[in-house]
Chains A and B, each alone.
Chain A
Amino acid sequence: MLSKEVSPLLFSIILVFCILGTVVFAVSRKITEEMSSSAIHNLSESLVLIRGTIEAILMKESEFQQLIAQEIAMMDDPEEFVSTYNRNQTMVKMSIILEGKTEGVSNTSENFSEEGLDFSAGETVGGLPISQSYLNDMGTWAYTMKCPIIRDGEKIACLYIEYIYDSFDEALPEGFYNGSAMLYIMDAESERLVLKPKGMGERNAGHVNLEDFYRANRILEEDLQEEVAECIDQGKDIMFYHDIQEQHSLIYMWAVNDGAIYLIGYVPIEAIQQEGRTVNQNILVVVIVMLVAFFLCCLLYYLNQRQQMRVRKEREKEREMHNKQLAEALQAAQVASNSKTMFLSNMSHDIRTPMNAILGFTALLGKDAENPSKVREYTNKIMASGQHLLSLINDILDVSKIESGKVVLTIGEFTIEDLMSSVDTIIRPMANAKGQNLHTSVTGLKHEYLEGDETRINQVLINLLSNAVKYTPNGGNIWFRIIGLEQYSSQFEHIRFEVEDDGYGMTQEFLKTIFEAFTRAENSTTNKVQGTGLGMAITKNIVELMGGTIEVSSEVGQGSLFRVELELRILDEQGIKKEEDKAEEDMEEFSLEGLHLLAAEDNEINAEILLELLDIEGINCEIVENGKLAVERFANSEEGEFDAILMDVQMPIMNGYEATKAIRRLEREDASKIPIIAMTANAFAEDVKEALDAGMNVHVAKPIDMELLRKVIYQCMQRKD
């Protein structure tokens, strides 16, 4: 997809390149042509030079022969002179035939006659007739020139000197065109190749004659051969192009001595155009280098652009993400607002319901105070409503903690057996109460002792199971299964908890929102079921906090199935049980009776309840109304008078934090040691932290769970000791 901006640019670049390429091609072609022309000219020059050399040799031979003839003319016995003349490399044979005779003598001690020498072609060198080429008695190609011997203006004899073509060998260039060109000397009349290259191999060692030369080099066009023959007849110099051994070559035939002999041969075009080729190669190199440089620049430009584009895209993406986050935040705020409205509405309803029971039964209690059975019944109902109200508040706290991310898992050791037992203890009575059948099973587990937040796992399972009890009609079935799955790691047990029922089930629409806060399945069948609508949201959050997953499947009227999968670290089984047992035993053995506590509590009712509860445990407690009084009372007490201080936080005059700090600052030995227990309705995690930061030892949330308080006091005493 080329944008409208890129296309013209690309077109322009291509156009520039086309023009550039055309110019380079034209220049290169012109150079080639000029170099080619120059190369052919150089070849012609070389051939002319060689021809000049050969003709000069022939001329010198002719002149020398004439000089000898003149010398001989002055001698009394010319035959004697000739027969004793030593042969040399040029003049291999000298002979003389006296005028009027047909036979003479030669310096090779043989009789000599003109028979076998063919002067009929009428060729001459320097005026001397020259014979056709022939193979002499040395086994090499030769020619003879004859020269009349004139004495006193009268021809007295004829001098014949035989020369061999091998003597031209030295005059020919060695390695013509670096050995790539071939050079032969051909006798024009017989078309025999009388001097050949001396290279290796069949072709390089030369051919027999012109016909053989044509055949070997596939110069088979008859009209071409005819034209060449015509030119040779006329003694013309010729050149023509032809492929030789698959190389485009230039064949030359250069007439020497007016066409009596010919210099023939061929040279590959590549060899004579070496300079042109070098120039073109260099041009090509320059063009390639420039193109490479250009494309390199383009590449760098492209990379730079891409980098900028990427940065721009990242910024846009970031902006989009921010916008999206803002939108989501806005939506979340709206949802939160809606949720809060709904929450308040739900809370109003959910708090009012048990509150109604508490107040109603309290009123009835006033009336029927004299009737112990009624009092017991009403107080039980008030207790149940109070417990429900407390669980509602606890759930709200849990949601608050989870949403603020302040939930911290308390990792400890536990056994699946204990887990099953504790869950069973809580759920089975509930199920029995509704006539439901609770089926429990543990299968496939490889390890008993595990590490994890047992309380939270309990919370999850109880949540699911209590829901199952709630949403299953009387006489229904509930299955609780703990299944060991295939381990992902040898150090973790992979467990699936399944809670299944054959109860009312849920619609698909509800399933989509089941894990959202304040949702509750409501229909004509279930709207009578009490609940905060926070349980499933808490459950899901806890499961995810533990790195697990939760799934649900359900059909209306068929029941529901919840699956929770967790991975829990496997523990060494030894010792765990003993420690637990020991702690339990110690706890059971320890008695709080006789302890003397100081409590700062501004609320009189709470103070009274506290006193009563502690009194049941045999603990003596002194109440002060605010923090300041608590500080003063402790300061004035004797060392060791109080075993611990219970400190409310929100109090008039001086709150619990300040009071604690003041106590810790007191200059007495037990000021830093005395356990101070925060006992407050400020039950959030930050409240706990603030209490600890102020110097308190432990935090216990209101309403007071006496069992918990007992345990806390015990632990403080243990540490103090």
Chain B
Amino acid sequence: MKGKKGGKIRKALFAFLAGMGILSIAACGNKGSSKNGVIISEKGEDKVVNLFGPMEKSSPDAKNISRTAFDLTVGMAEERLGLTVEYRTYTAENYQEKTYDDVTLDRVRNGMDDLYLLNPDTIQVLGEEGKLLDLSELDCAKNLREVVKIANTVDGKLVAIPQEVVVHGLFVNKDMFDQYGLKLPETPEDLLECCRVFKENGIETPIGANRWWLENFVFAQAYADLYNGGNTEAEIEALNSGESKYSDYMRPGFEFLQELIDKGYIDAKTAYTYEAIEGEGPDFLAQKTPIVMAYWSAANAETAYGKPDFELQVIGFPSSRGPMPVVSMTGYGINAEAEHLEDTKNVLEIILSDEALQLYAETNNVISPSKNVEVEYIPALQPLKERIEENVYVLGSNAGMKVEQWGNTCLIVRMLLNGSTVDECMAEFDRLQEE
């Protein structure tokens, strides 16, 4: 016993001395220089892909799940391809500055970057200009849902592919609705009634709006029948041929918005200047405003409405066919004259692969553009999800329509916010259709 103990001590001592010896030898090692002491600095040629994307104004310590999910997939691409995706951003400081879309158009046209995250209007504009690469040959394009392909195809070319299907809905404070005994609105009339009750109970502006997303009210009412009436292609063809007028579709929505503005349910002045979420978000989170509008994943993002102190519900926009989700697409497009074209295509193949989209959808809790990817959703999104599963929705952007919808409608809604009449707005639609 004693012998064993002594042996252990001897072994420990020996191990300690050996460790010290190795440390000493390692410390005396001379690395990084030749025998003559010449230090050579090697400069590797790094492969780079330049990505241009939007950026929210920074919030300390806040986690943007959406961005994180994207980062994860980009990290996957960087690791597998051994390159660096350099991320360049732009955010308008205020409404008077150029918008992200304006800057995107400029940058794509001047070939500033390789890869872009594009909004629906820019997808259509740049697609028509032939500035974006046709992505239909990519492997990752093969698993896309049909709706995604339709929405991003311009002149027969698939010019953009999203990582998520962006669904816009009304974000409501269910607690406040319960407080005043209100049912969640399904039709425009329901919403008006809810707003009346809120207003009467001292809530100054029942609907928090920004300068980007009011158009969803218009789309929901304009295209509820078009996309859900069973005659979609014919109606779109009629619009494209000029037989039907966009203004006829758009008018009810604009009139509805006008009524909301006139009755003080929407503050047009602030809405015209507010950036998305940044403007109306604080009042919604502070429970001063019971209704706002936003995209699906804002319900998961801490930077948006991911951690409210109340019961959040996300429902469709009111329409004659009940709550109507508005589906729009933001997608990744490659500059047709990208400096690093092959690397960029490879990056896209990876970040839009089923594996990456599964990771993205799980992280961000969104509807994936790939038909092979399904995930669980948070309860707040359940009403919106049910409508999507029933295939009840309208498209906020459709590259099949000759008149670009998302960007133009947004601009015309701003005209309304800025004091134009509904007729003037409709005239603008007519003008665009004629062009």
- Which residue of the partner chain, among A138, A207, A216, A292, contacts B107 with CB atoms under 8 Å? A138
Contact A200/B107 with A212-B57, A218-B60, A296-B16 known, Cβ cut-off 8 Å: no
Which residues from A are CB-within-8-Å of B67? Answer: 201-202
| Binding-face segment, A191-199, A390-398, A423-431 | A191-199
Contact A205/B93 with A139-B110, A216-B58, A303-B9 known, Cβ cut-off 8 Å: no
Which residues from A are CB-within-8-Å of B56? Answer: 202
Among B60, B91, B106, the most chain A Cβ lie within 10 Å of the Cβ of B60
Among A139, A140, A215, A299, the most chain B Cβ lie within 10 Å of the Cβ of A139
> How far, in angstroms, from A205 to B98 measured CA to CA in the complex?
19
Among B87, B98, B106, the most chain A Cβ lie within 10 Å of the Cβ of B87
Which residues from B are CB-within-8-Å of A208? Answer: 55, 57-58, 91, 93
Distance in Å: Cβ of A670 to nearest Cβ of chain B = 63
A215 engages B59 (CB within 8 Å):
yes
Q: How large is the interface on A (under 10, 10 to 19, 20 to 34, 35 or more residues)?
A: 20 to 34
> How far, in angstroms, from A245 to B85 measured CA to CA in the complex?
23
Any B CB within 8 A of the CB of A203? yes
Nearest residue (CB) in A for B78 is A200
B88 engages A205 (CB within 8 Å):
yes
A139 engages B87 (CB within 8 Å):
no
Any B CB within 8 A of the CB of A217? yes
B107 engages A139 (CB within 8 Å):
yes
Distance in Å: Cβ of B292 to nearest Cβ of chain A = 22
A-B contacts, CB under 8 A, total:
85
Contact A200/B85 with A135-B98, A138-B112 known, Cβ cut-off 8 Å: yes
Give the secondary structure class of A's interface: loop
A139 engages B106 (CB within 8 Å):
yes
Which residues from B are CB-within-8-Å of A215? Answer: 57-60
A199 engages B87 (CB within 8 Å):
yes
Any A CB within 8 A of the CB of B189? no
Any B CB within 8 A of the CB of A78? no
> How far, in angstroms, from A139 to B16 measured CA to CA in the complex?
63
Any A CB within 8 A of the CB of B18? no
Per-residue interface assignment for chain A, residues 129 to 150, with 1 indicating a CB less than 8 Å from any chain B CB and 0 otherwise: 0000001111110000000000
> How far, in angstroms, from A245 to B55 measured CA to CA in the complex?
19
Which residues from B are CB-within-8-Å of A207? Answer: 57-58
Any B CB within 8 A of the CB of A330? no
Any A CB within 8 A of the CB of B64? yes
Nearest residue (CB) in A for B87 is A205
- Considering only residues 321-367 of chain B, those with a C-beta below 8 Å from chain A are none
> How far, in angstroms, from A608 to B111 measured CA to CA in the complex?
149
Q: How large is the interface on B (under 10, 10 to 19, 20 to 34, 35 or more residues)?
A: 35 or more
B88 engages A209 (CB within 8 Å):
no
Any A CB within 8 A of the CB of B90? yes
Any A CB within 8 A of the CB of B103? yes
Any A CB within 8 A of the CB of B83? no
Distance in Å: Cβ of A275 to nearest Cβ of chain B = 16
Distance in Å: Cβ of A477 to nearest Cβ of chain B = 58
B112 engages A139 (CB within 8 Å):
yes
A206 engages B55 (CB within 8 Å):
yes
Per-residue interface assignment for chain A, residues 207 to 242, with 1 indicating a CB less than 8 Å from any chain B CB and 0 otherwise: 111001101111000000000000000000000000
Contact A135/B87 with A140-B107, A202-B58, A215-B57 known, Cβ cut-off 8 Å: no
Any B CB within 8 A of the CB of A384? no
Contact A292/B16 with A199-B87, A200-B71, A205-B87 known, Cβ cut-off 8 Å: yes
- Considering only residues 395-421 of chain B, those with a C-beta below 8 Å from chain A are none
A139 engages B103 (CB within 8 Å):
yes
Distance in Å: Cβ of A347 to nearest Cβ of chain B = 54
Any A CB within 8 A of the CB of B89? yes
Knowing that A139-B107, A212-B58 are A-B contacts, what are 10 other residue pairs whose CB atoms are under 8 Å apart, sorted by A's residue number?
A: A135-B98, A138-B106, A139-B103, A201-B71, A202-B55, A205-B55, A205-B89, A206-B55, A206-B89, A208-B91
Ranked nearest first, the 10 interchain pairs of A and B with the lowest CB-CB distance are A216-B58, A139-B106, A139-B107, A198-B86, A139-B103, A138-B110, A205-B87, A218-B60, A205-B89, A208-B91
Residues on A close to B: CB < 8 A? 135-140, 192, 196, 198-209, 212-213, 215-218, 245, 285, 289, 292, 296, 299, 303
23 A-B residue pairs with CB within 8 Å: A135-B103, A139-B98, A139-B102, A139-B103, A139-B105, A139-B107, A139-B110, A139-B112, A198-B50, A198-B87, A201-B68, A202-B58, A202-B64, A205-B55, A205-B88, A206-B55, A208-B93, A215-B59, A216-B58, A218-B61, A285-B23, A296-B16, A299-B9
Residues on B close to A: CB < 8 A? 9, 13, 16, 20, 23, 50, 55-61, 64, 67-68, 71, 74-75, 85-91, 93, 97-98, 102-107, 110, 112
